[in-house]
Amino acid sequence: MDSYPYLKSLHLIFVITWFAGLFYIVRLFVYQIEASEKPSPEKKILQKQYNLMAYRLWYIITWPSAILASLFAFSLLYLAPEWLNQSWMHVKLCFVVLLYAYHLKCHQIFNQLQRNEIKHTSNFMRLWNEGATIILFAVVFLAVMKNAVNWIFGVVGIILFSVLIMLGFRFYKRIREKNNS
């Protein structure tokens, strides 16, 4: 029985749940930061609830998904070591390293917010949330296209996508400020 398709399926499932965790944890960061600006007792109630939600998400879904996605990825590379000779895989692995850096920075922010230490604004977190989106686009396109020869076009595409996200963020921020006035 060929285990490759099963390992690949499991790898993809845990990549999806890892990204879901990363997307949602940063959204919870936004809520935690905004809760800190509320008057008591609302502030205390919301902080307690968001800290619990973040804790469960981080340690029950996000971290285990990251570890399992990586273990299945190593298994796939063990079964198909020739991928390590392909330039698209080198670029993809660079983005995976960047994803782990993003994950570890989220862990640092998670720990700060668990201690009710606010070091970033909710707007910063909204923008920070797009980092995982950019990495996701890069990794998926590299994995599907398996072509790093045109990586310059991919990088330009990611930069353009990032600019669109920034413009969308600014537009959304203006709408929120208008509605709050």
Q: Are 125 and 36 in contact (CB under 8 A)?
A: no
Residue in the structure block whose two tokens are 């990251």: 66
Handedness of CA 105, 146, 148, 164 (dihedral sign): negative
Specify the DSSP class assigned to residue 38: S
Query: How far, in whole angstroms, is CA 50 from its chain's centroid?
Result: 19
Residue in the structure block whose two tokens are 């919301």: 46
105 is in an annotated binding site: no
92 is in an annotated binding site: yes
Q: Are 18 and 72 in contact (CB under 8 A)?
A: no
Q: List the binding residues for heme.
A: 11, 92
Q: List the binding residues.
A: 11, 92
